[in-house]
């Protein structure tokens, strides 16, 4: 079994992480005091961390999303957004992540007068500062941004245009998130059309709390390049008693086309998408060689890190260092960064990093 130290030292890539789901508890308390947000359930940082974790683990995506009222509530000022983004970059880098795409919904952060562009500017400035701090600490990281539109609102085209407008300043793609039930992906075809016509990148939350129709629509009607979560793809996979496996048409398409699955194991347990880590379909999907990636989703709400997710998968399925590297390369191949940048990180950071860890393990065994 891999040690947590080895997992942290391994270079990792992250494609599905929500900015408003990854604040430090102490930062939530600080920002609430600084900007006059009165509704926190407690100002004790330890108790607040427990509150978020307990509130999120209610086996319902809709209930899970309720906890975001407080993180979004303290992220309504430019300085607050910049601080959260900078700390996000630092925290991810400290966890051994060398490339990350962090997503957020600008439309949720305009309650105190910021424009959508003001929000993006503040977050991008924060990420740049966080990258500088991480590099100075000897933990370089590349942060890119996904701009998200919320399903329950009616601003998807406007948000898609915003994402494209910032494509040359660190924004690499567009996403749609929020409650799946009652908000099918086909409601947002105009936004998706705009993204495709602008030769931009698209990922869609699909197949988390809703089933195969959500995945089918996201792919065939909306043109998604990646699937956020996508756990319900297993509804189209039959595992027989003799161990043989039959893939249905959607599952076959996803595997044959190498559609990346942005899987978030602990979050999927908390939202009720799966019963436990041990029962998570990520093990079956990785063995079938789907383009699986491992992600955090919401580090504060689920009390996770990417290293912790890999540790849980290693304990449940014995993935080892080789599978960790494969999963990391999957993520880098699936990233929305330009091809040359992806290739550089794979060849100059990821592969040498894992080679060094394997050599270290060999020396320990030999010694």
Hey, how many other C-beta atoms are within 10 angstroms of the C-beta on 162? 21
Sign of the CA dihedral with 134 first, then 25, 207, and 188 last: negative
Q: What is the pLDDT of residues 151-202, one digit of tens each?
A: 889 899 999 999 999 999 999 999 999 876 677 778 899 999 999 999 999 9
Q: What's the confidence (pLDDT) of residue 184?
A: 79
Between 361 and 201, residue with greater pLDDT: 201
pLDDT of residue 217: 93
Mean pLDDT over 258-278 rounds to 95
CA distance 257 to 20: 32
Q: Is the pLDDT assigned to residue 113 strictly greater than 90? A: yes
User: Taking 90 as the threshold, does the pLDDT of residue 278 lie above it?
Assistant: yes
What Å distances lie between residue 199 and 170, 172, 193, CA to CA?
Answer: 16, 11, 10
Q: What is the pLDDT of residue 239?
A: 96
**Interior angle at CA 308, CA 337 and CA 59, nearest 5:** 95
Contacts of 313 (CB under 8 A, 6+ apart): 265, 277, 282, 283, 294, 319
What's the whole-number mean pLDDT along residues 119-133?
98
64: pLDDT confidence band, cut at 50, 70 and 90? confident
Query: For the chain, what is the largest distance between any 2 Cα atoms, rounded to a whole number of angstroms?
Result: 63
**pLDDT (0 to 100) of residue 208:** 82
User: For the chain, which domains are there?
Assistant: 4-356 (3.20.20.140)
Q: What pLDDT score does 211 carry?
A: 83
145 has a pLDDT exceeding 90: yes
Candidates 208, 217, 262, 309; catalytic one: 208
Select from 244, 169, 180, 245 the least CA-distant residue to 207.
180
From 46-60, 84-98, 188-202, 224-238, the region with the lowest mean pLDDT: 46-60
Across the range 336-350, mean pLDDT stands at 98
Tokens of 273: 């998408």
The predicted structure's pLDDT at residue 363: 62
Instruction: Kindly report which listed range (203-207, 302-306, 334-338) carries the lowest average pLDDT score.
Output: 203-207
pLDDT score of 227 more than 80: yes
Q: Is 208 a catalytic residue?
A: yes
Given this model, what pLDDT does residue 364 score? Answer: 57
Residue 60 is predicted with a pLDDT of 85
Q: Which residues pair with 17 in a beta bridge?
A: 102, 297
Question: What confidence tens digit (pLDDT) does each residue in 282-312 have?
Answer: 999 999 999 999 999 999 999 999 999 999 9
CA 274, chain centre distance (Å): 17
Stretch 327-351: mean pLDDT: 98
Tokens of 26: 């102490």
Alpha helices in the chain (DSSP H): 4-9, 25-35, 45-56, 61-66, 68-73, 78-94, 116-136, 156-165, 189-197, 212-216, 249-256, 265-270, 282-287, 299-302, 306-317, 320-334, 339-345, 351-366
pLDDT of 365: 56
């Amino acid at each position: 079994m891999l040690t947590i130290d080895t997992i942290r030292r391994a270079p990792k890539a992250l494609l599905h992480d929500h900015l408003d789901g990854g604040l430090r508890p102490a930062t939530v308390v600080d920002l609430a005091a600084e900007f006059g947000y009165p509704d926190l359930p407690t100002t004790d940082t330890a108790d607040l961390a427990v509150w978020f974790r307990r509130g999120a683990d209610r086996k319902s995506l809709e209930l899970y999303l309720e906890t975001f009222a407080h993180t979004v509530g303290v992220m309504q000022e430019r300085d607050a957004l910049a601080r959260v983004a900078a700390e996000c970059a630092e925290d991810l880098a400290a966890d051994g992540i060398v490339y990350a795409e962090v997503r957020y919904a600008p439309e949720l952060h305009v309650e105190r007068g910021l424009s959508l562009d003001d929000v993006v500017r503040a977050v991008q400035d924060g990420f740049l500062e966080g990258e500088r701090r991480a590099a100075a600490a000897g933990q370089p990281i590349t942060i890119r941004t996904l701009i998200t539109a919320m399903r329950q609102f009616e601003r998807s085209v406007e948000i898609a245009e915003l994402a494209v407008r910032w494509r040359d300043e660190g924004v690499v793609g567009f996403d749609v998130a929020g409650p799946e039930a009652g908000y099918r992906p086909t409601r947002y075809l105009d936004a998706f059309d705009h993204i495709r016509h602008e030769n931009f990148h698209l990922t869609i939350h699909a197949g988390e709390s809703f089933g195969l129709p959500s995945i089918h629509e996201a792919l065939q009607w909306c043109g998604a390049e990646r699937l956020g979560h996508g756990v319900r793809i297993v509804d189209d996979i039959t595992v027989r008693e003799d161990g043989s496996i039959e893939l249905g048409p959607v599952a076959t398409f996803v595997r044959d086309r190498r559609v990346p699955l942005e899987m978030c194991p602990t979050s999927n347990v908390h939202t009720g998408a799966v019963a436990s880590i041990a029962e998570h379909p990520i093990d079956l999907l990785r063995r079938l060689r789907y383009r699986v990636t491992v992600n955090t989703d919401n580090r504060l709400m689920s009390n996770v890190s990417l290293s912790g997710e890999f540790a849980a998968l290693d304990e449940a399925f014995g993935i080892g260092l080789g599978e960790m590297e494969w999963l990391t390369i999957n993520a880098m191949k699936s990233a929305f960064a330009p091809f040359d940048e992806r290739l550089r990180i794979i060849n100059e950071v990821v592969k040498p990093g894992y080679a060094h860890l394997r050599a270290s393990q060999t020396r320990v065994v030999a010694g």
